A and B are shown apart, each in its own frame.
Chain A
Amino acid sequence: MGEYLLKRVFQLIPILILASVVIFTIMHLIPGDPAQVYAGPDATPDALAAIRKDMGLDQPLFIQYFVWLKHVVVLDFGVSYTSKYPVIQLIQQKAGATFELAVAAALLQVTIGMPLGIIAALNQRRWIDYVISAYNSIVMAVPNFWLGILLILLLSVQFRVLPPAGRIEFLSNPAIAWKALIMPAFSLALFASASVTRFTRAAMLEVLSEHYVRTARSKGLKETVVIIRHALRNALIPVITVVGIQFGYLLGGAVIIESVFAWPGMGRLIMQGIGNRDYTVVQGALILFVTVFVLLNLLIDVCYAFLDPRIRLTAKKGI
């Protein structure tokens, strides 16, 4: 297991380095002069030159890259050009909101997706299976930002039961905070729940045809016990993987949803950074996003290998 883990971690290094090159290059392709942004519109040419020297912008690009990378490795993302705060501080303020939104969406996606998948599998090729499949197709055609707008229209404008925007920190006051959280989380979760339904259905069908399920039934166990203890527990492994992978997409998808609901998270930080040409903020936020995304995938693979010895043994043999 240790060897497998080490191998996987080493595979990540070139990807993260390449990703940092991509992010750095993209940010330097964005038109506009960072020194001008930092100094403001009234800066004199001398002041601009001094700032450029100070920020290292007069150095060749590859030297700028290595200087940046050296700092990034120790989580020093520089200072925001517009607010003059350290980027890491801005990220710390916003990351919690995005994480909260993604966790709530992940919980919702499982709550919606899994029972539907189980019901569909237990009623394979009956009308309820077809209804769930049709519902799934519709859900997969509804973009999350449009769903957000529809929910605001219905629940905020029409019935006035939920606030259309904003956030209250969940842990500080859960009784009120959930009202602001539920619509963005649901908008984000619904699309993703369709995949959970599909995977749960497929995994359940596979497990239900296994010998041990037949044995459990022939022992005279109750159907609910067979389904929950014998079938569902084994079907959970692939489903957990999907939920894990989806979590990365939920974090990414939060970028749009945060814009719909004025949710003060990382997505808004990045969008505002792009709008203000605040490159240090965007660079920092992007590299963090990618690192989390990649580590998350590693975590899922490792969990999977832990649960299924065949994977780590195959990897060990180098097949």
Chain B
Amino acid sequence: MAEAAIQTFQEDSLAPEKPAKGLFWTSALRLMRHPQGAFGLSLTVFLVIVALGAPYFAPYDPLVVRSGQELKAPFGQYVLGTDQYGRDILSRIIWGTRVSLAVGLVAVSLGALIGAGTGLIGGYWGGRIEAVFSRVWDTILAFPAILLGVSVTAALGPGVLNAGIAVAIINMPIFFRITRATLLVEKEKDYVTAARALGSTDARVVFRGIMPNTVSPILVQVTVAMAQAVLLEAGLSFLGLGAQPPEPSWGSMLSESRQYLRQAGWFGVFPGVALMTLLAGLNSLSDALRDVLDPTQIYR
């Protein structure tokens, strides 16, 4: 009888209280009802669809050079005009969505995995491990983000994947700090003490018990970091260190446009509008997620 009670308590002690519909659906629903959340989500989802369906949506091949069609004005045969090689700007923007989102995805998942991972380990075990991680991440934070991005891509070689890795490195310390801070609070709570007293292993306490409670702040940071990653990738491509020609990327398109501002002003406008749309979507999404995932508001 007593053993059975302990068994039940042991299982319950680590299971967070679940609302009827499940945390994911409750949050998703709240996000869609949040005006800013709905706005951010629709913009982001729209651009994800554009990226995935690029081959279907792009009216022309983004890489085909057409002589005689250079710097054509928009709203004619080419909806957003053409660039200095006669390539269709709309098609290049559509394909460029893939580059931006791909770099964001690589940067954020790698950054979150390593940053949050070291945060969990360092925060739970403390001591020297934590001190080493803290020093390393503090050092990364001592670099202005764009300079670190420039240095890392210069060392690894310019390119989309390396830009992603560079931005991931920039993201790691922030994920580390957020996870560690949440963990330090959670570690002192009764459910952890209870689980430990009942003989749960460290790994079980961290991964089954504490980790689910660190998800909310990490999720908010994922969207913040995604916007930052998109911005940094565009910046690195603008400086010639991200996507390499002829690969279409918003940052490199803007960089190329600078030489033709007098003849073709639109060339410097449209890729920026695309970039702004994605950033606005991600920024709104992160603001809304912060509201929605606030634990004091969740089950109201």
Residues of A whose CB lies within 8 Å of any CB of B are 14-16, 18-19, 22-23, 26-27, 29-31, 137-138, 140-143, 145-146, 149-150, 152-153, 157-158, 164, 248-249, 251-253, 255-256, 259-260, 270-271, 274, 282, 286, 289-290, 293-294
Tell me whether B145 and A146 are in contact (CB under 8 A).
Answer: no
Determine if A30 and B155 form an interchain contact, defined as CB atoms under 8 angstroms apart. yes
B250-300 contacts to A, CB under 8 A, are: 254, 257-258, 261-262, 265, 268-269, 272, 275-277, 279-280, 283-284, 287
Which residues of B come within 8 Å of A, CB atoms? 135-136, 138-140, 142-147, 150-152, 154-157, 231, 234-235, 238-239, 254, 257-258, 261-262, 265, 268-269, 272, 275-277, 279-280, 283-284, 287
Which of A143, A251, A259, A274 meets B154, CB within 8 Å? A274
CB proximity of A249 to chain B, nearest CB, Å:
6
CA distance A153 to B257 in the complex (A): 11
Give A141 to B274 CA distance when docked, in angstroms. Answer: 11
On whether the beta carbons of B144 and A248 are closer than 8 Å, the reply is: yes
CA distance A142 to B283 in the complex (A): 11
- Known pairs A157-B265, A251-B144, A256-B235; A29 contacts B135 (CB<8 A): no
Q: Is A26's CB under 8 angstroms from B231's CB?
A: no
Report whether B254 and A146 are in contact in the complex, using a CB–CB cutoff of 8 Å.
Answer: yes
A30-B155, A157-B261 known; A290 vs B238 contact (CB < 8 Å): no
Number of A-B contacts (CB under 8 A): 120
Q: When chains A and B are docked, how far (Å) is the Cα of A149 from the Cα of B238?
A: 12
Chain A minimum-CB-distance residue to B263:
A157
Which of A18, A158, A286 contacts B135 (CB under 8 A)? A18
Chain B proximity of A101: nearest CB distance (Å): 14
Asked whether, in the complex, the Cβ of B144 is within 8 Å of the Cβ of A289, the reply is yes
24 A–B pairs (Cβ distance < 8 Å), ordered by A: A14-B135, A15-B138, A18-B139, A22-B143, A27-B155, A137-B284, A140-B283, A141-B283, A142-B272, A143-B272, A145-B234, A152-B261, A153-B261, A153-B269, A157-B261, A158-B265, A252-B144, A252-B146, A255-B146, A260-B258, A270-B147, A289-B143, A290-B142, A294-B142
The residue in chain B whose Cβ has the minimal distance to the Cβ of A156 is B261
Question: What residues on B are CB-neighbors of A256 within 8 Å?
Answer: 146, 235, 238-239
A149 touches B261 (CB 8 A): yes
Tell me, in angstroms, the Cα distance from A18 to B136 when the chains sit together: 8
Contact of A150 among B142, B234, B268, B284 (CB under 8 A): B268
